Amino acid sequence: MSPGQALAAILLAMVITTSGTWQVQDWRYSEKLASQALLHQEDMTAIGNAAAAQARTEQDKRLAIEQKLAAQDQQHTKELSDAQRDQARLRDRLATADVRLSVLLAEDPASGCDVPSAAGAVGVVHAARRAQLDPAHAQRILAITGEGDQGLIALRACQAYVREVIESK
Give bridge partners of residue 132 from the DSSP assignment: 102
pLDDT (average), residues 137-156: 89
pLDDT 10s digits, 56-70: 999 999 899 899 989
Q: Tell me, what amino acid is at 135? A: P
pLDDT 10s digits, 79-120: 999 999 998 888 888 888 777 878 788 765 555 555 544 444
pTM: 0.53
Crossing angle (nearest 10°) for helices 135-168 and 3-95: 160
DSSP H helical ranges for 96-133: none
